[in-house]
Chain A
Amino acid sequence: MKFRSNLWIGGALIAVVVAGGALAPWLAHTDPVMDANLMNAEMPPGSEFWFGTDAQGRDIYSRVLYGARVSLTVGIVSQLINTFIGVCLGMSAAYWGGWWDDLVSGLTNLMLAIPSLIFALAIMAILTPGLTSLLIALGLTNWSFTCRLSRAATLSIKEQGYVEAARSLGYTDTRIMFRQVLPNIAGPIIVIGTLGIGGAVLAEASLSFLGLGIRPPFPSWGSMLSDARDQITTAPWISIFPGLAIFMTVLGLNLLGDGLRDVLDPHSQTRKA
């Protein structure tokens, strides 16, 4: 088996980010919110503040670490919601067919037609900015690909004998879907999910730029980057570190997703995805 560079590089990047977020309370030098000290405002990177400080005098290194928690939470939770919705709708539509299938297809087409960032923008404006709103906005707007994929995969599996066999054993529909069908379509869904986490991290940044992201004092990379944009010439470190963190994470997720695709889904049909 050949060395899968994207899988390894991607995995390593993500491992660093996850470790950083998980170990933030131990690795961070200061509390990311309460340690605003205006006497230290906008210090360049140095031995005391590794990544420098921001306009409020908070340690950027610590905020980037804690930011990993928020940004990863946003990415992973919203993507779990998307995957859950997509898989449930897709599988059940293919499995039961009929009017339910028509309804789900209609919904999928609808979701596909509204650009997800615009949909998320609308939801954020309505729910007012914040973490929960963001999870809802990003979690409800990006499930159409997963749904289509699950539906197509379930349809093809349904034709094969073993679902029929399970049914004759008297298993319930739900049990068959989750025990028999799901494991068989998990590969491509994991791939889409991985790529989607990256998309959600970027979407969070975009929404922050538009004034509709998570609001501080919770440090999220998107809001840190967006708040620092006016200082990009005067104090570039304030934006460079959260920017790099986003870049690393999304790059890692994309590489990991590609790598996983090669492993889990070797006969990927680009046409369908």
Chain B
Amino acid sequence: MLPYIARRLLQMVPILLAVAALIFLLFSVIPGTFASSMGDDGRTVVDAQVMERMNQELGLNDPLPIRFGKYVAQLATFDLGTSFRSRQPVSQVIADRLWPSFQLAMAAMLFAMVIGVPLGFAAAIKPGSLFDSVAIMLAVSGLSLPKFWLGLLLMYLFALKLGWFPSFGYGDGSLRYLVLPAVALGVSPLALLARTSRAAVLEVLHADFIRTARAKGAGNIRVMRWHVARNAFVIILTTLGLQFGSILGQAVVVEKLFSWPGLGSLLVDSVTLRDIPVVQGCILTIVLLFLVINIIVDVLCAAIDPRIKYS
């Protein structure tokens, strides 16, 4: 197992490097600069000389190959550079946002699992039944709503009308603040999980070893509980791992709406105001998170299902 993990970790390196190069090149041709973003609210006239100096100070006047060289050299020492806006190391800027981001993503996944998986299981018991159709239809409905609209509807209903949760922000970091954004973010993975777990259960129920177990006289409930659950969980975990990427992506919208201080809102701000080092750092961090989570998922799968072997 350990060599396998080591190999997987090593495989991340070329991907991260490719991502770094790709986003560097993409953002080197973006129109507008950080200096020009300083005047975007039309409030003050930003002096042309100052803007020029700012570009100089930030190294934006260097030719592209030199900038790229510097960037690679920085990355080689695990340095993500300095934020144009805050003048702090990018690693610090990102570290400040990592925990809220992680909290939100985990809460969304948890919500999706706690509701989605049982829903899928229940639907699979009697495939084709009314309950099955309604359950899946409901789950898919959640998936079909634009995230910011859903978020707004949740805000109106649960914060304004019912007053159950605060409508925005991170507050003191307590759970109450987490609920609404997590639900808004968790609805799509919930639908996919419900669908996947339903399909997984159906597939496993028809597999040979279940028939064997039944033939051996194991009762329905026992069959559901042990064999089905274990096998289905492998599939569910894998789905969840892949869904983690889209959760990190959708978080951009949800964090922006709920003023949640995570990586997503940081990324949007930094793109809008052309704080390129932070954009690069954010995307690299998101990719890294996604890759690591998927390694963990694969390892967990192997632990749950002894038939999965990694060499």
Point out which of A106, A114, A251, A254 has the most chain B C-beta atoms below 10 A from its C-beta.
A114
Per a CB cutoff under 8 Å, which of B18, B26, B253 touches A122? B26
Interface size on A, residues (CB 8 A): 45
Q: Are A206 and B148 in contact (CB under 8 A)?
A: yes
Chain A CB within 8 A of B140 CB: yes
B224 on the A face (CB < 8 A): no
Pair B148/A209 contact, Cβ less than 8 Å: yes
Once bound together, how far apart are the Cα atoms of A89 and B249, in whole Å? 25
Interface locus among A38-46, A56-64, A165-173, A222-230: A222-230
- Given the known inter-chain contacts A109-B15, A117-B250, A225-B146, please indicate yes or no for A126 contacting B30, CB distance below 8 A: yes
Complex formed: what's the CA distance from A254 to B139 in Å? 11
Instruction: Judge if A116 is at the interface, Cβ distance under 8 Å.
Output: yes
- CB-based contact B146/A198 at 8 Å: no
Contact B26 A113 (CB under 8 A): no
Interface of A, secondary structure class, is: helix
- Give the docked Cα–Cα distance between A20 and B256 (Å): 33
C-alpha gap A246/B199 in the complex (Å) = 26
> Are B246 and A116 in contact (CB-based, < 8 A)?
yes
B152 touches A112 (CB 8 A): no
Q: Which of B22, B27, B146 contacts A246 (CB 8 A)?
A: B146
B122-148 residues with Cβ-Cβ distance < 8 A to A are 128, 133, 136-137, 140-141, 143-148
Indicate whether B229 reaches chain A with its CB closer than 8 angstroms.
Answer: no
Residues in chain A near residue B136, CB distance under 8 A: 6, 258
Q: Which of B46-54, B167-175, B283-291 is near enough to bind chain A? A: B283-291
* Residue A121 CB within 8 A of the other chain: yes
Known: A110-B15, A122-B283, A270-B196. A117 touches B141 (CB 8 A): no
- Give residues of chain A (226-251) contacting chain B, Cβ–Cβ below 8 Å: 226, 229, 232-233, 239, 243, 246-247, 249-251
B141 and A118 contact, CB distance less than 8 A: no
Known interface pairs A115-B249, A121-B252, A250-B144; A271-B15 also in contact (CB < 8 Å): no
Asked if B291 and A113 sit within 8 Å, CB to CB, the answer is yes
* Among B31, B149, B200, B239: residue with most chain A CB under 10 A: B149
Contact between B235 and A270 (Cβ–Cβ < 8 Å)? Answer: yes
Is A271 a contact partner of B143 (Cβ separation < 8 A)?
Answer: no
Inter-subunit contact B141/A247 (CB<8 Å): yes
Q: How far is the CB of B204 from chain A (nearest CB, A)?
A: 11
Q: Does residue A1 face the partner (Cβ distance < 8 Å to B)?
A: no
A123 at interface, CB cutoff 8 A: yes
Q: Is A251 touching B252 in the complex (CB atoms < 8 A)?
A: no
Whose C-beta in chain B lies nearest to the C-beta of A205?
Answer: B146
Check: B267 CB closer than 8 A to any chain A CB: yes
Complex formed: what's the CA distance from A112 to B291 in Å?
Answer: 10
CA distance A5 to B137 in the complex (A): 10
Q: Residue of A at shortest CB range from B146?
A: A205
How far apart are the CA atoms of A195 and B183 in the complex, in Å? 22
Chain B, residues 24-57, CB within 8 Å of chain A (1/0): the string is 0011011100000000000000000000000000
Contact between chains at B287 and A268 (CB < 8 Å):
no
Given contacts A128-B31, A270-B199, A271-B235, contact A254 B144 (CB under 8 A): yes
Q: How far is the CA of A211 from the CA of B269 in the complex (A)?
A: 12
Q: Tell whether B23 is near chain A: CB-to-CB under 8 Å.
A: yes
Whether B144 contacts A270 by the Cβ 8 Å rule is no
Beta-carbon nearest neighbor of A122 in chain B: B26
Residue A202 lies at the interface, judged by CB distance under 8 Å to chain B: yes
Cα distance A233–B161 in the bound complex, in angstroms: 12
User: Is A255 engaged at the interface, CB distance under 8 Å to the other chain?
Assistant: yes
Closest to A2 in B: B128
B79 at the interface (CB under 8 A from A): no
When chains A and B are docked, how far (Å) is the Cα of A140 from the Cα of B84? 29
Tell me if A210 is interfacial: C-beta within 8 Å of chain B.
yes
Interface residues of B in 232-268 (CB under 8 A from A): 235, 238-239, 245-246, 248-250, 252-253, 256-257, 267-268
Please state if A205 and B283 are interface contacts (CB–CB under 8 Å): no
Partner of A270, one of B30, B140, B147, B200: B200
Would you call A122 and B23 a contact (CB within 8 A)? yes
- Among residues of A, the one whose C-beta sits closest to the C-beta of B274 is A125
CB pair A125–B271 under 8 Å, yes or no, is yes
CB distance from A232 to the nearest CB of B (A): 6
A-B contact pairs, 14 of them (CB 8 A): A106-B18, A112-B245, A113-B15, A114-B286, A114-B287, A118-B248, A206-B250, A210-B252, A229-B148, A229-B149, A232-B156, A233-B156, A258-B140, A271-B235
Which B residues lie at the A interface, using CB under 8 A?
14-15, 18-19, 22-23, 26-27, 29-31, 128, 133, 136-137, 140-141, 143-149, 152, 156, 195-196, 199-200, 203, 235, 238-239, 245-246, 248-250, 252-253, 256-257, 267-268, 271-272, 279, 283, 286-287, 290-291
New A-B contacts (20) at CB < 8 Å, excluding given A122-B26, A206-B147: A106-B15, A110-B19, A113-B245, A113-B287, A114-B283, A115-B245, A125-B271, A206-B253, A210-B252, A225-B146, A229-B149, A243-B149, A246-B146, A247-B141, A247-B145, A250-B145, A251-B140, A251-B144, A255-B140, A270-B203
